[in-house]
Each structure stands twice: as C-alpha cells, then as structure tokens.
Structure 1
Amino acid sequence: MTAPEAVGLWAAQNLTTNSLQGWIQSNIVPLILLGIAIILLWIGGRGDNAGVARRSIGLLVGLVALGIAVSGSGPRVGQFLASLIVG
C-alpha cells in the first residue's frame, strides 16, 4: 500500500478525537481539580487565608474558562458578552 492509499484509507475511516477528548475530561480534569484542592488546603493549613482567597479567585476564573472550553459553548458565550457591549 502506497502512502496516498494509506491516507485515503484513514480519511475513509472518519477518524475523530472524540475518544481522546472523553478520556481527558473523565481522567485528567478531575486529577487537576484534586491537585488544586490539595494545594489550597495545604496553603490554608499554614494559616495563609489571604493567600488562599487570592489564589481561589484566579482558580475560579480558570475553571470557568475550562468549563467553557470543555462544553463547546464558546461561541454562545462570546455572542452574549458582545451583546452586553453592543446592545
């Protein structure tokens, strides 16, 4: 089988990344959230409550961005934010 035939065969199989996306969402994202929670608890255990609060705000913004990216609702969120400015 030549290289062009192999490429045509792969295209005919209609390969997607849905399985990889599902694996990342079900395995990697919870591990990241668990790591964040452990770090915040460790910082809070040292008595640096202001540091925990400061980091938590940044983490919330990051988690919102992650949620938008994972759900695929980026265009709808962008249209909503643009309608707030434009009217």
Structure 2
Amino acid sequence: MTGPEALAHYAQGLTTNGLQGWIQDNVVPLVLLGIAIILLWIGGRGDNAGVARRSVGLLVGLVALGIAVSGNGPQIGNFLASLLVG
C-alpha cells in the first residue's frame, strides 16, 4: 500500500480519546483553579455581590462543561424536554 490507500488505512485507527483524556485530566482542573483564584481575589476586595453574580454564571458554565465531558447530553436533553412536553 502506498499513497492514499496507506493514509486511509492508517486513519481508520485514529481517535481523539487521548486528547480528550488529556484535556479532562489537565486543562479542566487548571481552569477551575483559575476561577477559584479570581473569585477569591474579587471577594478579598469586599465585592461580595460581584462574587455572587459571577458565581451563578460560573455554575451554569460548569454544568454545561460537566454535560459535555460526561457524554450524557442526549439523555439530559430528553429529560429536560420531557419536563416541558410531558
């Protein structure tokens, strides 16, 4: 096999599992640590209302991140739709 056939054969075994695992193991904890440091810094200035306001947005973002990382998006979407439709 040479040329396009070899490339196609090699590409069949490629996945993104390694990249996904690295992001979950390294990037997500660093982002969470950064968020915690920023909230502590804002809270240290005495702006508790600002911390509360930002925390609500962060919780929504973390829920979305959790759904994306877990892979249960379709099941959660079906559950939420069943709450509205019945």
TM-score normalised by the chain length of structure 2 = 0.94
Task: Check if 1:63 corresponds to 2:66.
Answer: no
1:10 aligned residue: 10
Count matched residues.
85
Deviations 1:15-53 (A, max 9, x none): 100010000000000000000000000000000000000
| 4+ residue segments displaced more than 4 Å | none
Supply the RMSD in Å over aligned alpha carbons: 0.9
**1:10 maps to amino acid:** Y
Identity level (%): 79
Measure, in 2, the Cα distance between the counterparts of 1:39 and 1:6: 50
Structure 2 match to 1:33: 32
Q: Deviations over 1:37-87 (max 9, x none)?
A: 000000000000000000000000000000000000000010001100110
- Once the two structures are TM-superposed, the CA of residue 6 in structure 1 deviates from its matched residue by 2.9
TM-score computed with the length of structure 1 as normaliser: 0.93
> Which segments of 5 or more consecutive residues in structure 2 lack a partner in the other structure?
none
Distance in 2, matches of 1:29 and 1:16, equals: 20
- Counterpart residue number, 1:42: 41
**Structure 1 unaligned spans of 5+:** none
Instruction: State the alpha-carbon separation in 2 of the partners of residues 37 and 22 from structure 1.
Output: 23
- 1:10 Cα offset (Å): 1.4
